[in-house]
Amino acid sequence: MANGRIKESNGGRWILWVFVAMGMAMFFVGVAVGIYFIVDAGNTESVTATVTAIYRRGSGDDASYDVRVSYTFGGEEYSDVPLGYWQTGMDEGDEIEIRLDPDDPENIGANAVAVILPCVLMGFGLLFAGFPVAMIAAEHKKDGGRREARKRGTAVKCRVTEVTSDISYSVNGKLPNDILVCVSPDGKRYVSAPFARKYSLPVGGEADVYVLPDDPEKYWVDLNSVTPPDAEEFEAVVPEGYTEDPLGQNRG
């Protein structure tokens, strides 16, 4: 066992915060793009145009559409002007509202893009941030329960039955942390917070678990209370022919 007191690990919580930051950045980029389109729309004018031609290039998922429109602005007619986008259900002869730059009437603003792009960016941003925030909140709730149990909980002696890899967090394909599993005399199972694998806690010994009497789901496994087993205790917990597997599961 490594020297020093065993410190609990927060696993890869920092990675979750990275996803939160990425999601919020994407969300605010969407807001900025939306503001840009709103400001840009203030410098344009609305005109009714007619779809005069739709050219399809490619097929299936690779298909793209070149839409051409005609319209009248400032007493002049403009024809075969590229629209810049296509919408499902759009057909030749349809009348649509477009926005154009009065100083450059052939410069058409993409109305659909102005709505869709900011919404997509903000939606994905909230999705990227929302799930990690929910996971972080759940972990903080667990941490709060452990802290409360540590202060007010009743100590219960439990037998360490398993020390296994914490698969919730990996670094370069490796699992740096372990979790400890112990069972109380009345058969209740308790799982510790993750801790660095270097500590190599033994299977078969005893550990103190602090359990809240009024809320048994809140508990704290004192990793520093684990005692090494004697030969009889070890054999009672670990099956004959016990060997360490590649993941370090059931490690003694």
Considering only residues 94 and 168, tell me which one the structure prediction assigns the higher pLDDT.
94
Residue 176 lies in a domain: yes
Query: Could you tell me if residue 174 is inside a domain?
Result: yes
Mean pLDDT for 110-126 is: 78
Q: Is residue 116 in a domain?
A: no
Residue in this structure with the two tokens 């696993």, named with its chain if needed: 11
Residue 126 to residue 186: CA distance in whole angstroms: 45
User: By residue range, what is the domain housing residue 161?
Assistant: 148-237
Q: Does the residue 160 lie in any domain?
A: yes
Q: Does residue 199 form part of some domain?
A: yes
Is residue 12 in a domain?
A: no
**Number of domains, the chain:** 1
What CATH number is attached to the domain comprising 170? 2.40.50
Q: Is 248's pLDDT higher than 50?
A: no
Residue 198 lies in a domain: yes
pLDDT of 247 > 50? The answer is no
Closest CA to 67 of 83, 90, 78, 45: 83
- 246 secondary structure, DSSP code: T
In a domain, 75, yes or no: no
**Per-residue pLDDT at 89 exceeds 90:** no
pLDDT of residue 234: 56
